[in-house]
Amino acid sequence: MSFNATQSQAPDARKNGDLYRDYVDDKNAPSQDTLYAASNGAPIAHPYESQRAGENGPLLLQDFHLIDLLSHFDRERIPERVVHAKGSGAHGFYRTTDSLEDLSLADVFKPGKTVPITIRFSTVGGEMGSADCARDPRGFAMKFRTEEGNWDLVANNTPVFFLRDPAKFPHFIHTQKRHPATNLGAADDSTMFWDYLSQNPESVHQVMVLMGDRGIPDGYRYMHGYSGHTFKLVNAQGEWVYAQFHMKSKQGTRFLTNDQAATKGPDYSQRDLYEAIERGEYPGWDFAVQTVTPKQAEEMWEKEGINVFDLTHVWPQGKYPLRKVGEFFLNENAKNYFAEVEQAAFSPSHLVPGIEPSADPVLQSRLFSYPDTHRHRLGTNYAQLPVNAPRVPYRFANFQRNGAMAFYNQGGRENYLSSISPINFRKRAVDADATHAHWTGEMVTFLSEIRPEDFQAPRALWEKVWDEGARSRFVETVAGNMSRCGDKEIIKRQIGIFREVSDDMATRLEKATGVQGYPGIKGLRFNGSHNGMAEEKSLRAANGQEQSRAWEAKNNNGAPRAGTHH
């Protein structure tokens, strides 16, 4: 017998959407309001039951609940991040206290503008289960959910990094991982680490920061953040400047000595951040910007040897002061760490109108690398996950559809640029043609060289910033770390690099390690960087390979020399 449902008996198709689970409702629902069920929603009487062929017989394949339970369990770990695997995060808000509209048309920089944010702090080299108090740089990744889309500021707690040539990054990170033969990490064998550093002297400033007092912050609340990379700010008139972003802790900065760090639990920083927020002690930071005009950028190189595209260089704040723009606070812990922190995906290519990338080569490589790793780790639709989804006051659409876990697949709208049912467009806010340097010339095979100006900022750190206590702790830390390096030649080379910073530093390290270092780098050849300070021309080229003739003729080490900008 057939059954014909009447209109009153049939469900209202217009309300089908109400049947979908709501993420926010599910996130905040207490256990008492939930019903145990299989993944298809079917209620299960008890989670520990299984179906067997008799009281003492084998299991039945038809037991979907058990099979589904085990199958999900087998797959419930996604790949950990290649770098920044161990981290902590929380939610909060950012607000602009001092308008930046004269420099940027970004909506987020209008006076009084407040937007929700998510921040993930992390260590760089360690594995998922590594210690929070390891001597390692810290990640400081921020997601601003603006009304013009998500802006991700992927920063560190150090103003510089170990490299300025993008192809070095995977190789350097490999030295932070376990040795392929011994499976030992750097805590037991630091040979790979110091071998890399001693062959790439541009890393010396970051090495000093890492081995100095800032190398182990006392939790994430007591550290600053730095973009490190140079960006561009573009205003409504199409004028632009180079910019770096600084996050200054309102709590001040505190550090742990090696001995203090050894007494802390592996999740010390995670616990400190979580419990502070639970107590209502919401950590905050001031948000500031440091800017230079295109003309100033050229003069910085010509007169001071500072390259705005160089991740190992800093801009002196005495000459290029910080300008406060806003502040932000963390006032909400994650309800579910995996969903809201582990699945959070940050990328420096996630920009909004008024903020543009510069020609910084390491930044340029990260514009691709970060979203690519998210597609691998989380899936092609990673941006649809609630923690990553934009919160804009308009329905946005594109023609990126399908793929695994496509929660929002843009309905039945045309999946091409249709003239029958056209999509809307907003007028261009930034004239990209006018906001870049004057690039002209042949293709150049580029690798940077070591020059005297690379040691200026490290020397100032040793001689003018650190007090005697900080110098002594640095020497003790470096010597202790080098004691796990199995090759004395590597130590000799690294002390030679330190001697270019300060003979006093090198002499102290020689005494602490018992190894006599080289008198400097003028007599050394490096396998990773050209040595522009070598006395013999045969030692100048990295690994004995000739430099590009076009690159060598310009002699600007990748900096914006005079005439670069219109």
Catalytic residues: 84, 156
Q: What is the pLDDT along the chain (566 residues), one digit of tens a residue?
A: 444 444 445 555 555 455 556 778 888 888 888 888 888 888 888 888 888 888 888 888 888 888 888 888 888 889 999 999 999 999 999 999 999 999 999 999 999 999 999 999 999 999 999 999 999 999 999 999 999 999 999 999 999 999 999 999 999 999 999 999 999 988 899 999 999 999 999 999 999 999 999 999 999 999 999 999 999 999 999 999 999 999 999 999 999 999 999 999 999 999 999 999 999 999 999 999 999 999 999 999 999 999 999 999 999 999 999 999 999 999 999 999 999 999 999 999 999 999 999 999 999 999 999 999 999 999 999 999 999 999 998 888 888 889 888 888 888 888 888 888 888 888 888 887 777 666 666 777 788 999 999 999 999 999 999 999 999 999 999 999 999 999 999 999 999 999 999 999 999 999 999 999 999 999 999 999 999 999 998 999 998 777 666 556 567 898 988 888 87
Q: Domain segments of the chain: what residues?
A: 87-161+215-384
pTM over 0.75: yes
Cα distance between residue 500 and residue 202, in whole Å: 11
Contact assessment for residue 36 and residue 44, using Cβ atoms and an 8 Å cutoff: yes
| Integer CA distances (angstroms), 296 to 290, 487, 564, in order | 12, 44, 12
382 belongs to an annotated ligand binding site: no
Contact assessment for residue 373 and residue 347, using Cβ atoms and an 8 Å cutoff: no
Tell me which of 2.60.120.1440, 3.40.190.10, 1.10.3210.10, 2.40.180.10 is the CATH number of domain 87-161+215-384. Answer: 2.40.180.10
Six token digits for residue 541: 């080229």
Task: Give the 3-state secondary structure percentages of the chain, helix then strand then coil, rounded to 5.
Answer: 35, 15, 50
Residue 240: beta bridge partners?
234
Residue 154 in 3-state DSSP? strand
Phi-psi region of 203 (alpha: psi -120 to 50; beta: other; left: phi over 0): alpha
Cα distance between residue 308 and residue 46, in whole Å: 62
Cα distance between residue 22 and residue 18, in whole Å: 9
